């Protein structure tokens, strides 16, 4: 699954500076987080982490240059332990804990004793903090919002339900489903019948499986030996969406049985499960369409099944339909029979063995374009009037399919591969085996209105879903806690394949940007390890679909690939796919495959990266100290094995990109020549932030000013990102960060300019929302002066490489948003010409949204855009119009837009989260958007499900620019009043944390900004 447009989602600010560090050292920090970190026996040796590390780091390198720096590095590394209360004193002899008199050190021995005492004290306090909250099991400790299991669940008929857990028992496993469905698209109901062949893996009386919203009319049971059907009773337990069948006889281990269930249900009106939609075709006739979206938990609402990813089985699907419709499913069609009542029944071939969440079927009026690729028929489907927009998708799919088959050395196993653009679809796309489903805007490409960003989006999402045919479909995670095995890989492969076969698209820029934003989010306390052990409830499962599973997963794979080399990496994943085809895995299976092809103990090296959370935000930041003798010791936590790469200005090292693993507490790189500076984390292939010593920052800044091109554009963007993140932490002054981007006058590449604009725009947004208009405009002027010449060079065309076209789009949007140069006038002229031609005159696509935004500022322009929105056929163009409509300064219009999208008629509900985010970003709408979310919360949750990425995006989008205490209390009170489960949602905790960090940022930087901006 590809949640719609993570990349464009404004991830929350992360200013890691944590007051609790300064006021209440060690204990609070260590005790607050344990429930997020599954403790395993082999990690015990690291405890107590902070103290030991700091002591060693400081003791061994008796550095006397800048004690502040020590303190910083200590904090960065998560070693709050000795900061304030232990008080570093300016003494070459060592450190003197705490002035309260417990210790006063003047000799190494006393220091040792003090440290020992402190360690013991911390250990005791930790025990006290930890014990009541956690039970240390292999699974770690459980989250608070995990639902309590009733001891004796009662079924709807008042009888005892034989199973009390959320996860199904494993005594019985499905082997094959035979499913017949008859949907009625006008009455929005369907009838179904499913025959499930089962195998008993243990002796049992009960068959427990998933089913929800079904009106079950008849259940029969059959043993393999006597083929006689026996009608049996069914017990329903809606809380867990389970039913139980009490068999008429004991099921014996190893024997096969058959269960047949007949039922009816409503076709869902949300975009989840088996759902129906209506739309108007070009002659304004109302049309009906039904499709499925089962991941993660909705297959159970379409048919009773064992709805967990590890229960793989084969599926035979039959669909009864009216003649004018086309029916599609995972497999090719086997037969089509006209029934007595004039209906047609399509039967599809028996599927390969797969998980229930990958089952899919679609009924609607569609056309397609197809091409054969070595025996696999690739088809792109769309509603008939949009068949002209499928060529790009077909070409792209054919190339990518070929690439993946070669790269994985495994043929795509089905005879067909359909990609379908669905008129209403909540996610971005879904990887159902053989039947990929998409939003229209993520599959269709219109030469006249799709921008280069749209082309990249379509290409990337196809690449993502195709990669899932191997990662996810062929080999599946055993349970949702390892979702990253699906999504991290698909995301990694998406960028990797694009770089290999569509290099001209420069998709590395997007991947880099995604890594920056993911680290911001990951640095929040509310973040989570990508492989989490406490995932049980449906909200917890939904919450796994966040940008960490996708982009942190992908970032770690990139780091691994860079370290191991491309060949070994490829070899390992081929092995993994071969070894686990048609089965399910957990993360260790992946590390095992890497260990087989590499000398390195990957598990040891990487497990902290994927399990670690404890020291994550502080631990990954690397402090670099430069010495006169050109040696570079690195401080870091022993918990982290950090793949280090670097470049320097020296002749011998300028191209030094090899990666070494730092697996000790400090490391030294010996250079054979004198260098001015070192840049660590070459091309930002490592998932960490680097903090340099003052003189190294200065040397880097000087280098950027004299000749920035010594460093790659990725490195330049990386430096901009790191220095602003560190400035947010207070580790570097904001002024120095601005000093670094001073070189932008000479910058011509997209990645560094985009990152600088992103960082400064965040600051602008905070100032603007607090009403510091003067300061905000001074900031804009400062940035404008840096980019003035680049802005002046831009033309209102679609000329150039994809990368320069995107740069144009970013720069002109910046200039027009802040009314710089004569940008708005030029945009308005283009808009007026376009409007005068009734929208027939073609506009340059990359700046189309900017042109529309200029036009939407006038009353007539806004109304004209709305009329075009309703009547146009290109989703790419409609999205640009919608962005312009939602950027209006008229709050009545903004409110009306959100309301209409919630209704879902004129503007589809799938657009709502995008509208809310856009409205909230600008001053006139930012309070309105939050009001709207509060007012309509129950409807939003009903439509999008608690914990879903749409809800995550709405909560973050409507709150991430708040920076006052009043707003913090209000947001907190609002969610507290909903329910405990709502308040505990990760996105809610994240929203609160972001507001607090914004407050701290403002408090810390406002005065300084006033002074020097
Ligand atoms: Zn996916």
The crossing angle, in degrees rounded to 10, of helices 566-580 and 553-564 is 120
Tell me what the mean pLDDT of segment 124-143 comes to.
36
Regarding whether 486 and 357 lie in a shared domain, the answer is no
Number of separate domains in the chain: 3
Question: Using CA of residue 37, residue 43, residue 47, residue 49, what is the dihedral sign?
Answer: negative
pLDDT, position 758: 96
Regarding whether 479 and 346 lie in a shared domain, the answer is no
CA 670, CA 742: separation in Å to the nearest integer? 32
* Of 6-10, 665-669, 727-731, 904-908, highest mean pLDDT: 904-908
The crossing angle, in degrees rounded to 10, of helices 965-978 and 986-1012 is 180
pLDDT, position 527: 80
Give 702's DSSP letter.
H
Regarding whether 475 and 355 lie in a shared domain, the answer is no
Tens-digit pLDDT profile for residues 701-720: 999 999 999 999 999 999 99
CATH number for the domain harbouring residue 583: 1.10.390.10
CA 818, CA 768: separation in Å to the nearest integer? 12
Do 379 and 369 contact (CB within 8 A), yes or no?
yes
CATH number for the domain harbouring residue 962: 1.25.50.20
Name the domain boundary from 566, 596, 626. 596
Q: Which two tokens stand for residue 871?
A: 């009547």
Tell me what the mean pLDDT of segment 617-622 comes to.
32
Regarding whether 327 and 200 lie in a shared domain, the answer is yes
Within a domain: 296: yes
pLDDT, position 575: 96
Tell me what the mean pLDDT of segment 835-848 comes to.
93
Q: Where are the alpha helices (DSSP H) in 673-799?
A: 694-706, 713-729, 734-740, 750-769, 773-793
In the chain, pLDDT over 70 holds for what percent of residues? 79
Do 956 and 990 contact (CB within 8 A), yes or no?
yes
Phi/psi for 208 (5° steps) reads: -110, 125
- Triad 361, 486, 488: Cα angle to 5°: 135
Tell me what the mean pLDDT of segment 487-512 comes to.
96
The 3-state DSSP class for residue 346 equals strand
Give 35's DSSP letter.
G
Measured between alpha carbons, how far is residue 409 from residues 406, 412, 413, 577, 589 in Å? 5, 10, 12, 9, 19
Closest by CA position to 681, among listed 649, 710, 650, 656: 656
pLDDT, position 34: 29
The b/e string for 58-95 (b: 16+ C-beta within 10 A; e otherwise) is beeeeeeeeeebbbbbbbbbbbbbbbebbebeeeeebb
**C-alpha of residue 495 to centroid of ligand 1, in Å:** 13
487 belongs to an annotated ligand binding site? yes
Q: Which two tokens stand for residue 315?
A: 């599926």
CB-based contacts of 49, cutoff 8 Å, min separation 6: 78, 79, 614, 615, 637, 639
- Give the pLDDT band (50/70/90) at residue 603: low
**C-alpha of residue 7 to centroid of ligand 1, in Å:** 14
Do 430 and 780 contact (CB within 8 A), yes or no?
no
**C-alpha of residue 430 to centroid of ligand 1, in Å:** 7
CA 190, CA 263: separation in Å to the nearest integer? 9
Closest by CA position to 319, among listed 352, 292, 280: 292
Closest by CA position to 326, among listed 277, 354, 368, 275: 368
Measured between alpha carbons, how far is residue 682 from residues 648, 656, 658 in Å? 10, 9, 9
- Counting Cα atoms < 13 Å in the Cβ hemisphere of 41 gives 2
Within a domain: 453: no
Closest by CA position to 73, among listed 733, 617, 623: 623
Regarding whether 475 and 361 lie in a shared domain, the answer is no
**C-alpha of residue 696 to centroid of ligand 1, in Å:** 41
Higher pLDDT, 860 or 142: 860
Name the domain boundary from 579, 596, 613. 596
β-strand partners of 829: none
- What is the extent of the structural domain holding 565? 470-596
**C-alpha of residue 484 to centroid of ligand 1, in Å:** 9
Tens-digit pLDDT profile for residues 653-666: 555 556 666 666 56
Tell me what the mean pLDDT of segment 574-582 comes to.
96
Tell me what the mean pLDDT of segment 228-250 comes to.
92
CA 892, CA 899: separation in Å to the nearest integer? 11
Regarding whether 355 and 213 lie in a shared domain, the answer is yes
Regarding whether 474 and 335 lie in a shared domain, the answer is no
464 belongs to an annotated ligand binding site? yes
Answer yes or no: is pLDDT of 628 > 60: no
pLDDT, position 138: 32
* Of 106-110, 262-266, 999-1003, highest mean pLDDT: 262-266
pLDDT, position 283: 86
The 3-state DSSP class for residue 669 equals strand
Answer yes or no: is pLDDT of 228 > 90: no
Do 729 and 15 contact (CB within 8 A), yes or no?
yes
Within a domain: 289: yes
Closest by CA position to 852, among listed 836, 819, 830: 830
Do 320 and 345 contact (CB within 8 A), yes or no?
yes
Answer yes or no: is pLDDT of 372 > 50: yes
Element (H, E) at 208: strand 204-210
- Poorest-confidence range of 3-12, 266-275, 827-836? 3-12
Q: Which two tokens stand for residue 897?
A: 């837009």
In the chain, pLDDT over 90 holds for what percent of residues? 62
Within a domain: 880: no
Question: Using CA of residue 123, residue 126, residue 131, residue 135, what is the dihedral sign?
Answer: negative
Within a domain: 588: yes
pLDDT, position 651: 63
Answer yes or no: is pLDDT of 265 > 80: yes
Q: Which two tokens stand for residue 816?
A: 């027009």
- Give the pLDDT band (50/70/90) at residue 1013: confident
CA 675, CA 669: separation in Å to the nearest integer? 13
CA 781, CA 786: separation in Å to the nearest integer? 9
The b/e string for 968-983 (b: 16+ C-beta within 10 A; e otherwise) is bebbeebbeebeebbb
**C-alpha of residue 412 to centroid of ligand 1, in Å:** 17
**C-alpha of residue 483 to centroid of ligand 1, in Å:** 9
Tell me what the mean pLDDT of segment 772-785 comes to.
94
- Give the pLDDT band (50/70/90) at residue 22: very low
- Triad 902, 387, 403: Cα angle to 5°: 100
Within a domain: 138: no
pLDDT, position 625: 32
CA 341, CA 319: separation in Å to the nearest integer? 14
**C-alpha of residue 466 to centroid of ligand 1, in Å:** 9
CA 834, CA 510: separation in Å to the nearest integer? 31
The 3-state DSSP class for residue 793 equals helix
Q: Which two tokens stand for residue 223?
A: 């043993």
The crossing angle, in degrees rounded to 10, of helices 452-468 and 391-408 is 40
Within a domain: 383: no
Tokens 């000329």 locate to 799
β-strand partners of 197: 176, 258
Provide the annotated active-site residues: 465
Regarding whether 357 and 480 lie in a shared domain, the answer is no
Measured between alpha carbons, how far is residue 299 from residues 199, 462, 810, 868, 937 in Å? 21, 23, 41, 37, 26
The 3-state DSSP class for residue 370 equals strand
CA 847, CA 829: separation in Å to the nearest integer? 13
Contacts of residues 6-9 at CB distance under 8 Å and 24 or more positions apart, as own/partner, are 6/514, 6/547, 6/550, 6/551, 6/949, 7/510, 7/513, 7/514, 9/547, 9/917, 9/953, 9/956, 9/957
CB-based contacts of 423, cutoff 8 Å, min separation 6: 277, 279, 289, 383, 440
Q: Which two tokens stand for residue 242?
A: 């389970």
Tens-digit pLDDT profile for residues 294-328: 999 999 999 999 999 999 999 999 999 999 999 99
**C-alpha of residue 468 to centroid of ligand 1, in Å:** 7
How far separated are the first and last CA of the chain, in Å rounded?
A: 45
Tokens 């992360």 locate to 14
Neighbours of 249 (CB within 10 A): 10
β-strand partners of 181: 192, 319
**C-alpha of residue 574 to centroid of ligand 1, in Å:** 19
Name the domain boundary from 596, 614, 629. 596
Higher pLDDT, 159 or 123: 159
Do 687 and 552 contact (CB within 8 A), yes or no?
yes
Regarding whether 474 and 361 lie in a shared domain, the answer is no
Closest by CA position to 920, among listed 896, 895, 949: 895
- Give the pLDDT band (50/70/90) at residue 31: very low
Tens-digit pLDDT profile for residues 803-820: 999 999 999 999 999 999
CA 570, CA 517: separation in Å to the nearest integer? 27
pLDDT, position 668: 67
Do 645 and 685 contact (CB within 8 A), yes or no?
yes
pLDDT, position 928: 96
**C-alpha of residue 975 to centroid of ligand 1, in Å:** 29
CATH number for the domain harbouring residue 208: 2.60.40.1730
pLDDT, position 296: 94
Sheet holding 690-692, edge to edge: 668-670, 631-635, 622-624, 690-692
**Mean pLDDT of all residues belonging to the chain:** 81
CA 824, CA 395: separation in Å to the nearest integer? 38
Within a domain: 497: yes
Q: Which two tokens stand for residue 121?
A: 């004290």
Regarding whether 319 and 194 lie in a shared domain, the answer is yes
pLDDT, position 405: 97
Q: Which pTM does this prediction carry?
A: 0.83
The 3-state DSSP class for residue 451 equals coil
Answer yes or no: is pLDDT of 918 > 90: yes
468 belongs to an annotated ligand binding site? yes
pLDDT, position 27: 26
What Rg do the C-alpha atoms of the chain give, in angstroms? 29
CB-based contacts of 662, cutoff 8 Å, min separation 6: 634, 636, 641, 642, 643, 644
Element (H, E) at 968: helix 965-978
CA 50, CA 78: separation in Å to the nearest integer? 6
Tell me what the mean pLDDT of segment 152-166 comes to.
92
CA 907, CA 870: separation in Å to the nearest integer? 8
Do 409 and 574 contact (CB within 8 A), yes or no?
yes
């Amino acid at each position: 699954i590809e949640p719609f447009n993570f990349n464009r989602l404004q991830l929350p600010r992360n200013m890691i500076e944590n007051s609790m560090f300064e006021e209440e050292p060690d204990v609070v920090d260590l005790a607050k987080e344990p429930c997020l970190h599954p403790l395993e026996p082999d990690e015990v040796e690291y405890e107590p982490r902070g103290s030991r590390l700091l002591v060693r780091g400081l003791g061994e390198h008796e550095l006397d240059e800048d004690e502040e720096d020590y303190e910083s590095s200590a904090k960065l590394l998560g070693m709050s332990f000795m900061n304030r209360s232990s008080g570093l004193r300016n003494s070459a002899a060592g450190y003197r804990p705490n002035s309260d008199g417990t210790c006063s050190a003047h000799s190494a021995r006393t220091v040792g004793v003090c440290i020992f005492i402190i360690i013991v004290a911390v250990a005791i306090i930790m025990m006290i903090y930890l014990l009541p909250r956690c039970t240390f099991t292999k699974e770690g400790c459980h989250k608070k919002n995990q639902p309590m299991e009733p001891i004796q669940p009662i079924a709807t008929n008042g009888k005892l339900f034989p199973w009390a857990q959320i996860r199904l028992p494993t005594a019985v496993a499905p082997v094959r489903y035979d499913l017949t469905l008859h949907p009625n698209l006008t009455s929005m109901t369907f009838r179904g019948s499913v025959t499930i062949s089962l195998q008993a893996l243990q002796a049992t009386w009960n068959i427990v499986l998933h089913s929800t919203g079904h009106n079950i009319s008849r259940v029969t049971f059959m043993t393999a030996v006597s083929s006689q059907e026996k009608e049996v009773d069914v017990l329903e337990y809606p809380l867990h969406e389970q039913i139980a069948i009490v068999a008429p006889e004991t099921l014996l281990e190893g024997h096969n049985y058959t269960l047949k269930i007949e039922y009816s249900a409503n076709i869902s009106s949300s975009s989840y499960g088996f759902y129906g939609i209506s739309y108007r075709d070009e002659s304004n006739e109302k049309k009906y369409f039904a499709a499925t979206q089962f991941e993660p938990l909705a297959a159970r609402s379409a048919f009773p099944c064992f709805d967990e990813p590890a229960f793989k089985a084969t599926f035979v699907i039959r669909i009864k339909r009216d003649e004018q419709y086309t029916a599609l499913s995972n497999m090719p069609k086997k037969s089509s029979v006209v029934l007595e009542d004039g209906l047609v029944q399509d039967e599809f071939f028996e599927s390969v063995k797969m998980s229930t969440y990958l089952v899919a079927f679609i009924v609607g009026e569609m056309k397609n374009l197809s091409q054969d690729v070595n025996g696999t028929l690739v088809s792109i489907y769309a509603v008939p009037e949009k068949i002209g927009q499928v060529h790009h998708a077909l070409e792209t799919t054919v190339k990518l399919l070929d690439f993946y088959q070669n790269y994985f050395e495994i043929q795509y196993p089905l005879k067909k591969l359909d990609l379908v653009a669905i008129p209403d679809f909540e996610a971005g796309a879904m990887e159902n085996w053989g039947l990929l489903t998409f939003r229209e805007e993520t599959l269709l490409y219109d030469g006249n209105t799709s921008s280069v960003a749209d082309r990249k989006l379509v290409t990337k999402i196809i690449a993502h879903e195709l990669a899932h045919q191997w990662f996810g479909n062929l080999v599946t995670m055993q349970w949702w806690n390892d979702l990253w095995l699906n999504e991290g890989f698909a995301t990694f492969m998406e960028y990797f394949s694009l770089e290999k076969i569509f290099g001209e698209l420069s998709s590395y820029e997007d991947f880099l940007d995604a890594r920056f934003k993911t680290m911001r989010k990951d640095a929040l306390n509310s973040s989570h390890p990508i492989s989490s052990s406490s995932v049980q409830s449906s909200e917890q499962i939904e919450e796994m679909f966040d940008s960490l599973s996708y982009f942190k997963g992908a970032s770690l794979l990139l780091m691994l690939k860079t370290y191991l080399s491309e060949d070994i990496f490829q070899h390992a994943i081929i092995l993994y796919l071969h070894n686990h085809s048609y089965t399910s895995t957990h993360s260790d299976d992946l590390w095992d495959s890497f260990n087989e092809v590499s000398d390195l103990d990957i598990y040891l090296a990487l497990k902290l990266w994927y399990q670690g959370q404890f020291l994550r935000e502080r631990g990954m930041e690397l402090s670099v100290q430069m010495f006169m003798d050109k040696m570079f010791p690195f401080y870091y936590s022993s918990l982290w094995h950090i793949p280090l790469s670097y470049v320097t200005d020296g002749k011998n090292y300028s191209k030094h990109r090899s990666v070494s693993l730092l697996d000790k507490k400090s490391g030294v790189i010996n250079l054979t020549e004198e260098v001015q500076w070192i840049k660590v984390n070459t091309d930002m292939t490592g998932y960490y932030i680097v903090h340099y010593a003052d003189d190294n920052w200065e040397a880097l800044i000087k280098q950027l000013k004299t000749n920035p091109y010594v460093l790659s554009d990725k490195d330049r963007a990386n430096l901009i990102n790191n220095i602003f993140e560190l400035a947010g932490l207070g580790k570097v002054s904001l002024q120095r960060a601005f000093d670094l981007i001073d070189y932008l006058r000479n910058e011509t590449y997209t990645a560094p300019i985009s990152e600088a604009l992103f960082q400064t725009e965040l600051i602008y947004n905070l100032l603007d929302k607090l009403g510091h208009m003067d300061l905000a405009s001074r900031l804009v002027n400062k940035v404008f002066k840096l980019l003035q010449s680049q802005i002046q060079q831009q033309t209102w065309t679609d000329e150039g490489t994809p990368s320069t076209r995107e740069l144009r789009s970013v720069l002109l949007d910046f200039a027009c948003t802040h009314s710089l140069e004569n940008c708005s006038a030029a945009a308005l002229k283009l808009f007026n010409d376009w409007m005068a031609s009734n929208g027939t005159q073609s506009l340059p696509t990359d700046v189309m949204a900017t042109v529309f935004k200029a036009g939407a500022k006038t009353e007539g322009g806004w109304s004209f855009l709305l009329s075009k929105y309703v009547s146009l056929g290109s989703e790419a163009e409609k999205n640009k119009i919608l962005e312009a409509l939602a950027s209006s300064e008229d709050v009545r219009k903004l409110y009306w837009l959100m309301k209409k999208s919630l209704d879902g008629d004129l503007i589809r509900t799938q657009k709502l989260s995008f509208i809310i985010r856009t409205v909230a970003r600008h001053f006139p709408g930012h309070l309105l958007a939050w009001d709207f979310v509060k007012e309509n919360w129950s409807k939003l949750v009903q439509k999008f499900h608690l914990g879903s990425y749409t809800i995550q995006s709405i909560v973050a989008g409507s709150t991430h620019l708040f920076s006052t205490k009043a707003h913090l209390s209000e947001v907190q009170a609002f969610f507290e009043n909903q329910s405990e489960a709502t308040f505990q949602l990760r996105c809610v905790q994240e929203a609160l944390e972001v507001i607090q960090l914004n407050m701290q940022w403002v408090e810390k930087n406002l005065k300084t900004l006033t002074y020097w901006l």
